[in-house]
Amino acid sequence: MEDDLTKGCFLGLFNVMNLFTDRKIITVSQLTALVREVLEDNFEHLWVEGEISNLATPSSGHIYFTLKDSGATVRCVMFKSSVRAMKFRMNDGMKILLKARMTVYDQRGDYQLVAEYAEPLGLGALQLAFQQTRDKLAKEGIFDAAHKKTIPALPTTVGIVTSPTGAAIHDILNVIGRRYANLQILIAPTRVQGEGAAAEIAAAISDLNRYARVDVIIVARGGGSIEDLWAFNEEIVARAIYASRLPIISAVGHEVDLTISDLVADLRAPTPSAAAELVVSSKAQMLADCNSLERRLSQSILRHFSDLSSSLEILKLSLKDPGIIIERLMQRLDELNARTEYALTDLLQKYKQRAGIAESSLKLNSPDKRIRELTGRIENLSIRSIAAIRSKLEFTSSSLSTASGRLDALSPLSILHRGYAAVTMKQTGKTVREVTALKPGDAVDVRFLDGIAECEVKSIHCNMPL
């Protein structure tokens, strides 16, 4: 097959090259159009496998990616119409098989594949889509047991989402009619497979939630292939079940079949018939249970009445004349009153004695004398403190005057007042004390009393030979 493709490609190129035997000049756009025509004519239907990289999913809904193997890469695009038909999501690093046609992207002058269909290598597209949807919803916590609602034990109305012509509805109605014929059934008819079935199922669940009399919903379908059951793996159905205020039983396919609806529902039934058995108990069994409970309740009440009657007889025998009990209590009360009055009188007398002793002790230890002594001592200390502070201030003032005079005598400013000047090096600011520290050309600052003169040393004359 590769030889046929190569041969066809060369034949196409040969036919195009025949157009230029007279060295006709063409534009870049014309050249690109000719190359695109050759590629599209010879590579119209291709099956190409490789690994996805550089995946881009812009808001337009198209998908752009690179398909590569160990030796080469090719740009690919899948337009929105083809993307909608895919059951799985592409990821970088995924190995896929593409059905595509080859074309040229004029703006870059690159050849590219326009993918029309894709399927993953290793797993089927539906199985991969199932795993991707399950993993996504699991991360959101939609399958968590904390969100599961309890199925009512005695529902009055059951809503059923299924096909009105399928085997599932007949199985459910037969079981309910046999177990509890008085139960009300509300059927929301939908398609259960094919394009648009998932949206109908989700809408039916929403409709039943708006009907106030429904207590529980059964979402059901008979067995089939994974393609037949796929509507119950769609994300829209899973989110409708999760958002339902009513508890939902999922009964899709046979016991070996597992769908996303089973995982998110509040209860999974292996078959539609089993769902009917789970949602209603057998009427005969319920009546038998009620009769058993009635007998047990009657026996318990009779036993309780018998126990109460026996207790009453015992109380009658042990009950004495209440008048005798009251007389004894009144005598006891008088005795307690007398003892209380005596105890209070004695306690008051003791408190009076203790108060008298405390009063005498307080008079003997009056603080008035101590206060007068301390007041005189404070006044004496105040006079002495004032005198000491004055003496200290006078001594400090005298010392300050002496130090100020000495400071003025030693200040270089007083020397400047007498006509002298101070010389410092211009660069270092170091005071020049000897002429030998200078050399011709040095820059110096000469400080006078009223300012500084910047000077340059022209020559040096020492009192002593250099």
pTM of this structure: 0.44
Look at residues 129, 149, 171 and tell me which one is the last residue of a structural domain. Answer: 129
In a domain, 387, yes or no: no
Instruction: Say how many domains are in the chain.
Output: 3
Tens of pLDDT, residue by residue over 243-270, are: 999 999 998 988 777 888 999 999 998 8
Contacts 24+ apart (CB under 8 A), 458-463: 460/435, 460/436, 461/435, 462/435, 462/436
Identify the residue whose tokens are 């009223």: 450
End position of a domain, from candidates 70, 97, 129: 129
**CATH code of residue 220:** 3.40.50.10550
**In this structure, are 95 and 237 located in the same domain?**
no
Measure the CA–CA gap between 177 and 189, rounded to whole angstroms.
Answer: 19
Give the range with max mean pLDDT: 23-27, 180-184, 317-321.
180-184
Claim to verify: residue 142 and residue 222 sit in the same structural domain: yes
Q: Residue 142 falls within a domain, yes or no? A: yes
**Could you tell me the pLDDT band of residue 97, with boundaries at 50, 70 and 90?**
confident
Banded pLDDT at 283 (limits 50, 70, 90):
low
Same domain, 20 and 123: yes
Tell me the three-class secondary structure of the chain, residue by residue.
CHHHHHHHHHHHHHHHHHHHCCCCCCCHHHHHHHHHHHHHHHCCCEEEEEEEEEEECCCCCCEEEEEECCCCEEEEEECHHHHHHCCCCCCCCCEEEEEEEEEEECCCCEEEEEEEEEEECCCCHHHHHHHHHHHHHHHHCCCCHHHCCCCCCCCCEEEEEECCCCHHHHHHHHHHHHHCCCCEEEEEECCCCCCCHHHHHHHHHHHHHCCCCCCEEEEEECCCCCCCCHHHHCHHHHHHHHHCCCCEEEEECCCCCCCHHHHHCCEECCCHHHHHHHHCCCHHHHHHHHHHHHHHHHHHHHHHHHHHHHHHHHHHHHCCCHHHHHHHHHHHHHHHHHHHHHHHHHHHHHHHHHHHHHHHHHHHCCCHHHHHHHHHHHHHHHHHHHHHHHHHHHHHHHHHHHHHHHHHHHCHHHHHHCCCCEEEECCCCCECCCHHHCCCCCEEEEEECCEEEEEECCCCCCCCCC
Quick check: is 65 in a domain?
yes
Domain boundary among 129, 146, 181: 129
CATH number for the domain that contains residue 125:
2.40.50.140
**Above 70 in pLDDT, residue 70?**
yes
Q: Is 302 inside any structural domain?
A: no
Q: Is there a single domain that holds both residue 190 and residue 201? A: yes
Per residue in 165-183, pLDDT tens? Answer: 888 898 888 888 887 777 8
pLDDT of residue 11: 46
Residue 318 is assigned to a structural domain of this protein:
no
Of residues 317 and 446, which shows the higher confidence score? 446
Specify if 355 maps to a domain.
no
For residue 454, name the pLDDT band (cuts at 50, 70, 90): confident
Are 125 and 24 part of one and the same domain?
yes
Same domain membership, residue 110 and residue 154: no
Q: Residue 245's pLDDT is what?
A: 93
Do 257 and 113 share a structural domain? Answer: no
Question: Are 254 and 157 within one domain?
Answer: yes
Assess whether 23 and 150 both reside in one domain: no
Closest CA to 268 of 245, 255, 251, 281: 251
Q: Same domain, yes or no, for 173 and 256? A: yes
- Beta strand pairing status for 184-189 and 157-162? parallel
Q: Which domain holds residue 424?
A: 416-456
Whether residues 77 and 104 share a domain: the answer is yes
Tell me: do 119 and 186 sit in the same domain: no
Q: What is the pLDDT of residues 181-203, one digit of tens each?
A: 778 889 999 999 888 899 999 99
The pLDDT tens digits for 362-409 are: 777 767 777 878 888 888 888 888 888 888 888 888 888 888 777 776
